[in-house]
Structure formats: C-alpha cells, structure tokens
Structure 1
Amino acid sequence: MFKLPDVMSLLPEVIAKEGSSRFGALVEVWLKQMNDIAETVRVMSEWKAIDKAEGVTLDDIGGNVGQPRGQATDEVYRMLLRSKLARMNANGSLDSVIQVLALALQAKPHEFRLTEQHSDPVEPEPAAVHVSSVPYEKLNSAGLSPAQFVALVERLVAAGVRVSRVELTGTFSLATIVDQLEVNEHGLGDEAMIQGGTLGDMYVPGNDYDLPI
C-alpha cells in the first residue's frame, strides 16, 4: 500500500510536503485511487488459487478442469475442485483414495482408514469398502454431509464398488486421571460451550442434493 509520507518524501524540496497543503491533498486523492487499484490486483492474484477464489471465478476454474458446480456452495465446490485435480492421478487403490480425500478435505492421510469389506468377519461383501475413520470436523468445515462424502468415495474407488458404511470420528476422549474432571479441547465442554470434544457418528442416508462428481 502507498502511504502519503513515503510519496511526499520522494518529491523535491521546492514542493510543500505538508499533508494539509493543496498539493498534499491532491496527492492523497491520487494515492487513494492507486491503493484501490493495488488492492484489486492483489485480490485478482489471490483468486487464481482455488482456496481464495469465490463465485464466478471458481466457476471459471471449474470450467478449466471439467468440474461443474451444481448446487454446491463455494466451500463444497473448492473441495470438489481439489478432489477433481487429485483424481486425475488416482488409480482406484485404497491408498490413492485416502490421498485424494486428504487433499480434498485438507486433512492428513492418517486421519482416514478404509478397509475392503470382503474380509469383514461379520458382514463380508465382495464389492464394498468400509470407511472406518473419517474426521467429522473436516466434513463440517467443508460443508459436506455424510451422504455426499459417500458419493465422493464411491467416485474414487473402482467401478461397481460401494461404500457399506462410514464411521465419523470425533475428538472426545476420557480424562487421563480417574475421578477428576478435565475441561479441554478433547474432554467435556465448559459452561460457555467454547471448548470440548466432539462425538462421532455412524452414517445414516439422508435427503441431500447430488454433487456433480
């Protein structure tokens, strides 16, 4: 950003450099226009990135990579664009699926666990995968419902393979000391409900809009 004292200091001494002078007032008007232009250029530069772009600019990025928006919000659309770019190099293996999910939801790969259902001792199924761990907070921050997450996973795995169930993991954990209350980011919530752990869940199908994936 341009500042009036810095600009005035570059001018020759014969010019009155006080900000209250007529010339100083003229320079200040000019600086406002220059700063507005500089801010516009900065935003345009930032909006070249998926994580910064908004609205129609995101649609333009999606058009370049062949990913329509559908009814998705900007947050969900950013996730779709990240996953679209990652899917271009995915091979359908569980490891590549985890890598795509981590990139799409901006998480760490170790936060996800997928297993093939055919080896399940209770409910074996030849063409299904079980998502046994996915951080609930990552879905919430992306504005993604469990049903939409399942649709994303089924788009990543091999054709004909379905997701049998999804276990959403929370951050809640028991106290480390017996008979002592601990209020922190993993324990019970405080009275103001500002901090505390979150519970997990098991996916139950709902009425969600389809994502264009």
Structure 2
Amino acid sequence: MRPEERLPDCYRKDQESNNVKILELGRLAAEQLRTDIQAVLESLDLGHATGKTLDLYGDMLGQRRGLLNDEQYRYMLLSKIGRNTVQGDYNSIMATLVLMFGSQMGDITLDDLEVEEEERPCVVKLTKFPVQILISAGFSSRQAVAMIESLLPICVTLAADNFEGTFEFAESVGVYDELAGYGNVEQTIGGYLGLYLGDDDKIPVLPI
C-alpha cells in the first residue's frame, strides 16, 4: 500500500497533490536511512568494508595499506589476522589460507620438500594454488607467495616455482566441464592455465 492510500478520503491523493509529494519525501528519507544503516552493518564485515573503513581496520591491526587498492588491502588484512591467529601446525595454516583466499580445501596444497638438511632445513613446497585469485586481485605471483610465507613458522621456508591450473581436455568428444573446459568471453566459466613464478622483481614489495 502506498503511503497516500493511508490518508482519509478528505485529503487529496493524486500524484500532483502536496500530500503525496510530502509523503514521498518522507519515504525517500526513510529508504536512505535504511540504506545507510545497512552500509554500517556491512562495514562490520571485513569482506564488505571499503575505503576509509578498511584503513581503520588496518590501524587496529597494525597493517599498512601502501599502494594497495581495497581488494588487495583486504587480503593483506586477512593475512595479518591469520598471522596473529595461526597456530603453526599444518591444519591451522591451511585453514587460514582457505579463509584468506576464499577458496576450498584442496585448492591450496603445501607438501614437504626433500632437500639436504644442511642446505635448507624445514622446507615446504607450494604445489597448488588458485591462480584466479592473483588475476582478480591484481597480485603478482611473488606477492602471493610472500603472503603465504608470512604465515609459516620462522624456521620454515617456502619453495614455489609454479601454480597449477585447472584447464583440462575432455577424454571424449561431446564432454564439457564448466570448471575445467574452455571459457566464455566473459570468463565466468572455464578452467585456467597454470602460472610459473615469473621474473617480477620490479613488482612493489607488499607492506608485510
């Protein structure tokens, strides 16, 4: 029911009347207030916060923004939270990585790397990582590795030289998988190619 329909019949209710115009102003003000309240509530969620609100989260966590945009800075804040809460064991690290990158268990894998103990003791290898995270957020491969490495215990080092893709050819004609096959123009479906850790030393260092 429109607001003017609640008026007694002795009042004008047509769209050109002052009554309707005043009630419409009240409706728009109430709608804007509800929008503002919803925005405040969403700002409590780090996944929806933007701009200055993210900066306030950064101040509380002691994480500098640097030149990062909102999406990149959000990952850095999640990484900072992870460094403060991770327990140092494999399950805790993996749970933090899954939460930080919004992925699923199995999308990221860390395996023990067999090396000479005298060379690099306690080394883990990043064997699988969702490359689309790098593409959507605008991180370089080295920046992603730096974030992951920051979650590991001090005595553990990370080895990473490539990220596994999901693109696959079908085993038979007429078979298609939206998660692993060819993509569409909008790139909303389809698998992605792997990525070798490139020579991106010129990429700015993250403010970790």
User: Normalising to structure 2: TM-score of the pair?
Assistant: 0.84
Q: Indicate the SS of the match to 1:111.
A: coil
Q: Out of 14, 18, 25, which is 1:18 matched to?
A: 14
Partner of 2:78: 82
Partner of 2:93: 97
RMSD, aligned CA:
2.4
Structure 2 gaps of 5+ residues are none
After TM superposition, list the pairs within 5 Å mapping 1:136-151 onto structure 2.
136-151=131-146
> Do the aligned residues in 1 keep the contact of 2:107 with 2:130 (CA within 8 Å)?
yes
Q: Out of 15, 31, 35, which is 1:35 matched to?
A: 31
Instruction: Sort the Cα spacing of 1:193 and 1:44 in 2 relative to 1 into closer, same or farther, 3 A.
Output: closer
Deviations 1:127-151 (A, max 9, x none): 3221011111122223322111111
Partner of 2:167: 172
Q: How far apart are 1:115 and its partner, in Å?
A: 1.6
Partner of 1:154: 149
Q: Indicate the SS of the match to 2:79.
A: helix
Q: How far apart are 1:84 and its partner, in Å?
A: 2.1
Q: How far apart are 1:173 and its partner, in Å?
A: 0.9
11-20 vs 94-103, which moves further: 11-20
Partner of 1:131: 126
May I ask how many residue pairs the two structures share in their alignment? 203
Partner of 1:198: 192
Aligned partners of 2:203 and 2:46: how far apart in 1?
24
> Do the aligned residues in 2 keep the contact of 1:83 with 1:103 (CA within 8 Å)?
no
Deviations 1:54-86 (A, max 9, x none): 111110112122222122111111112222223
Q: Indicate the SS of the match to 2:106.
A: helix
1:57 equivalenced with 2:53 (yes/no)? yes
Which letter maps to 1:211? L
Aligned partners of 1:96 and 1:168: how far apart in 2?
22
User: Normalising to structure 1: TM-score of the pair?
Assistant: 0.82
Q: Indicate the SS of the match to 1:50.
A: coil
Aligned partners of 2:14 and 2:87: how far apart in 1?
66
After TM superposition, list the pairs within 5 Å mapping 1:103-118 onto structure 2.
103-117=99-113
Structure 1 gaps of 5+ residues are none
Which letter maps to 2:191? G
1:210 equivalenced with 2:205 (yes/no)? yes
Q: How far apart are 1:107 and its partner, in Å?
A: 0.5
Which letter maps to 1:45? L
Q: How far apart are 1:166 and its partner, in Å?
A: 4.1
Sequence identity, in percent? 28
